[in-house]
Amino acid sequence: MINLLINYQKVSVQEGTTVLAAARKLKLNIPTLCNHDDLCVAGNCRVCLVEQKGARTLIASCATPVLQGMEIHTNTLKVRNARKHVVELLLSEHRADCTKCYKNQNCELQSLANDFAFGDHVFLDLVEDHKYNIDRSSPSFIKDDSKCIRCQRCVRTCSELQYVSAIAVANKGAHQKISSFHDRPMSQVVCTNCGQCVNRCPTGALVEKTYIDQVWDAIYDPDKHVVVQTAPAVRVALGEDLGYDPGERVTGKMVNALRQLGFSSVLDTDFSADLTIMEEGTELLLRLKKAMVDGDKKVSLPMFTSCSPGWIKFIEHKYPEFLPNLSTCKSPQQMFGALAKTYYAKKRNIDPSKIVSVSIMPCTAKKFEADRPEMRASGFKDVDYVLTTRELAVMIKQAGIDFRNIEEAKYDSIMGDSTGAGVIFGATGGVMEAALRTAYEIVTGREVPFRNLNITPVRGMDGVKEATIKIEGCVDAWKFLEGAELKVAIAHGLVNANKIMKLVREGKAPYHFIEIMACPGGCIGGGGQPIPTNMQIRKNRMKAIYAEDEHMVLRKSHENPEVIAIYKEFLEKPNSHKSHELLHTHYVERDNY
């Protein structure tokens, strides 16, 4: 153990601990900015400077490991002056139009300014000296360099967590900036629109492209019937933006709030998640049958899940030769969208051209997905507007809804029923677990052999997870699977996806089915989730997802009554012609540069 003194208080910590972490152990708050728990140490903003006795300069507490006998002071005059200077320097290169900014009151620079740089600023405004660019080319997010303070959190996120590096540092000195490949618009580079950078940007330099006003316009248009779907991961995170601690389940309140906002029908993406399981599970079993019974060598295995639009764009850019391995199933959002303007419209007797379909997603890539040209199977844009969890919170605040004190409510039907299997789509491993609960039962006629249906090997925060399930006691139709070992793998965060894909490319991946989610932790850690998001918060949300599952009466997708009904009334059976028309899609190869 290393013993040191911070502000004359003794503290003992493990070797390798940073001064910042040691101070936090003493409940001393040292302000930070470029530091983020998910990312490697940068030490570049210099906000967390402290004084080390005997050192010539101040030291960055986030980047300095503790030493035996070290004496640290966090609040000396020297430190205060330097810190004030640093914050004022940052403000001088930041276009501070706070009252107009989407991040107003949720901006780390603003709160530092509040604490350290109130009153008149000493330094000259540098924003006018730069010809800043606002990149609105992506359907998912806006990059405004005039608000960028070069902390490089986004750059580290994109390379360390996502293995994409759509953005990187360019130029030096006064001209240094966060740029894309050859300074191209973000829509024209290898970017997955995952929004992890948006989630980690401490200012308003990276924000989601918001469609709040368009949604309000639709709600207030008397000619429109506005349906809204809510993704599984939203209900365990929305509360954070409305005064709750991370991990609080606010499903019922959210449904009530959506109704109060004026949506015509409040429905659930969990329904189409259940539907996805029926389609994707069947697709997997059919691929296995083709491979094992028909001896078809061309069957693309392992099969990959296709729910995560960030992952889809990643594989389209980076591993296009494996596009046939992707499940052809649309994501639950897009299945829902296609059905909203066909099945739902028909059942409710509404002109589909009058339906506006809105989805609430933990995700920014979903905005891109909804814009894809393939996503118009209903004859219309299947999903018109995608809002993030954060945008929904803004709408709830705008409407003056007292979220904490409203009653809980239930989803509308049709397409509002769900099972626990649909809910767990929100966490890494969830699609796999949901698929196994259903597929195993189809094949064997029995429930998966895990206590209380909880398939724990596929759960948790390990970057890459694997599991093997032995299939025994098959029903007649699936006898060929008797004794087979189904090997599955799960990856979340594209850096982990890349690990698996490398194995697949090298022929070293022995799996049949692989679930991949673009974001760390799966959708609960999505780019559209409340800020901040970090490991502890993801864990809390994950716990809430599984609690939600446990509280459901129905926990297997094939038991969802509305899913059973839709096959009976409309789709006939999984992977039917109609299903293929509405619920399945194809992918495009994209350049990788």
Partner 1 sequence: MENKGLNKVDLIFEKIEPKEVLIKAFKMSSAEIIQNMLDSGLKGRGGAGFPTGLKWKYTAAEKSSEKYIVCNADEGEPGTFKDREILERVSDKVHGGMAIAGKAIGAKMGIVYLRGEYRYMLPKLMIELDSFHKMIKEIGYDFNIEYRMGSGAYICGEESALFESIEGKRGEPRNKPPYPTVSGVFDKPTSINNVETLVTAMMIIQHGAKNFTQYGTKDSRGSKVFSVSGDTPTPGIFELELGMTVQQFVNVFGDGDTKAVQVGGASGFCVPRKKFAETIIGFEGVPTGGSMKLFNSSRSMYNLLHNYLDFFTEESCGQCTPCRVGCQQLLKGVEKVKKGEAKSTYLNELMKLADSMKIAAKCGLGQSVGNAFKSIVGNFREEIIY
Q: Which of 252, 181, 553 is nearest to 411 (CA)?
A: 252
**482 counts as catalytic:** no
Q: Which is nearer to partner 1, 148 or 273 (CB)?
A: 148
Nearer to partner 1, 25 or 130 (CB): 130
- Min dist CB 91 to partner 1, Å, is 9
The candidate with the shortest Cα–Cα distance to 271, out of 323, 328, 340, is 340
Tokens 């691929």 locate to 287
Other C-beta atoms lying within 10 Å of the C-beta of residue 236: 31
The single residue among 7, 21, 24, 44 that binds partner 1, judged by CB under 8 A, is 44
> How many helices (H) does the chain have, and how many strands (E)?
19, 18
363 is a catalytic site residue: no
x/- mask, partner 1, residues 200-229, rule CB under 8 A, reads ------------------------------
Choose between 171 and 188: whose C-beta lies nearer to partner 1: 171
Please confirm whether the linkage preceding 510 is cis (ω < 30° from 0): no
Clarify whether 283 is annotated catalytic: yes
- Interface with partner 1, residue 75, by CB under 8 A: no
Stretch that binds partner 1, among 158-166, 171-179, 503-511, 575-583 (CB under 8 A): 171-179
Please tell me which residue in 523, 548, 562, 579 is annotated as part of the active site.
Answer: 523
515 is catalytic: no
Distance CA 112, CA 91 (A): 10
Interface residue with partner 1, options 36, 150, 330, 341 (CB under 8 A)? 150
Nearest distance from C-beta of residue 35 to partner 1, angstroms: 12
CA-closest candidate to residue 226, choices 262, 260, 254: 262
> Helix, strand, or coil here: 259?
helix
CB closer to partner 1, 174 vs 547: 174
User: For 84-106, what is the HEC assignment?
Assistant: HHHHHHHHHCCCCCHHHCCCCCC
State the Cα–Cα distance between residues 120 and 505, nearest whole angstrom: 58
Q: How many residues of this chain bind partner 1 (CB under 8 A)?
A: 38
78 binds partner 1 (CB under 8 A): yes
Among 16, 119, 173, 400, binds partner 1 (CB under 8 A): 173
Angle at 126 between CA 143 and CA 83, to 5 degrees: 90
Measured from the CB atom, the residue of 179 and 389 that comes closer to partner 1 is 179
48 touching partner 1, by CB under 8 A? no
Residue 41 makes contact with partner 1 by CB under 8 A: yes
| Other C-beta atoms lying within 10 Å of the C-beta of residue 401 | 18
User: Which one of 58, 237, 386, 491 is in contact with partner 1 (CB under 8 A)?
Assistant: 58
Long-range contacts of residues 495-499, Cβ cutoff 8 Å, at least 24 apart? 495/160, 495/161, 495/162, 495/163, 495/463, 496/463, 496/464, 497/163, 497/311, 497/314, 498/163, 498/318, 499/463, 499/464
Given 307, 329, 363, 519, which residue is catalytic?
307
Q: What part of residues 343-372 is at the interface with partner 1 (CB under 8 A)?
A: none
In the complex, the smallest distance separating the C-beta of residue 60 from partner 1, rounded to whole angstroms, is: 7
Closest distance to partner 1 from the beta carbon of 152 (Å): 8
Restricting to residues 94-133, which ones interact with partner 1 according to CB under 8 A?
A: 122-124, 126, 129
Would you say 558 and 277 are in contact if contact means Cβ atoms under 8 Å apart?
Answer: yes
Nearer to partner 1, 109 or 275 (CB): 109
Q: What is the smallest separation between the CB atom of 172 and partner 1, expressed in angstroms?
A: 5
How far, in Å, CA of 233 to CA of 136, rounded? 27
By CB under 8 A, residue 152 contacts partner 1 = yes
Distance of CA 131 to the CA centre of its chain: 32
For residue 312, say if its preceding peptide bond is cis, omega within 30 degrees of 0.
no
Catalytic residue among 108, 279, 283, 562: 283
Which one from 280, 391, 441, 515 is the annotated catalytic residue? 280
Q: Does 45 interact with partner 1 (rule: CB under 8 A)?
A: yes
> Would you call 154 a catalytic residue per the annotation?
no
CB of 12 vs partner 1, minimal distance in Å: 20
**152 vs 342 by CB, closer to partner 1:** 152
**CB closer to partner 1, 121 vs 543:** 121
Q: Annotate 484-504 with three-state secondary structure.
A: CEEEEEEEECHHHHHHHHHHH
Residue 65 interacts with partner 1 (CB under 8 A): yes or no: yes
> What distance in Å separates the CA atoms of residue 191 and residue 141, rounded to the nearest whole number?
11
Phi, psi for residue 358 in degrees, rounded to 5: -120, 140
Closest CA to 194 of 47, 308, 37, 275: 308
Element (H, E) at 539: helix 535-550
- 173-202 b/e (C-beta count within 10 Å ≥ 16 → b): eeeebbbbbeeeebeebbbbbbbbbbbbbb
589 catalytically annotated: no
48 is annotated as an active-site residue? no
5, 25, 73, 92: which one contacts partner 1 (CB under 8 A)?
A: 92
Interacting stretch for partner 1, rule CB under 8 A, among 42-50, 356-364, 405-413, 504-512?
42-50
Q: Is 76 in the site for partner 1 (CB under 8 A)?
A: no
Question: Which member of 19, 30, 86, 523 binds partner 1 (CB under 8 A)?
Answer: 86
- Amino acid identity, residue 6? I
Q: Between residues 18 and 269, which has the closer beta carbon with respect to partner 1? A: 18
Judge whether 280 counts as a catalytic residue.
Answer: yes
List interacting residues with partner 1 (CB under 8 A): 41, 43-47, 49, 56-58, 60, 63-65, 78, 81-82, 85-86, 89-90, 92-93, 122-124, 126, 129, 149-150, 152, 169, 171-176
Q: Where in the sequence numbering do the catalytic residues fall?
A: 280, 283, 307, 327, 366, 369, 374, 523
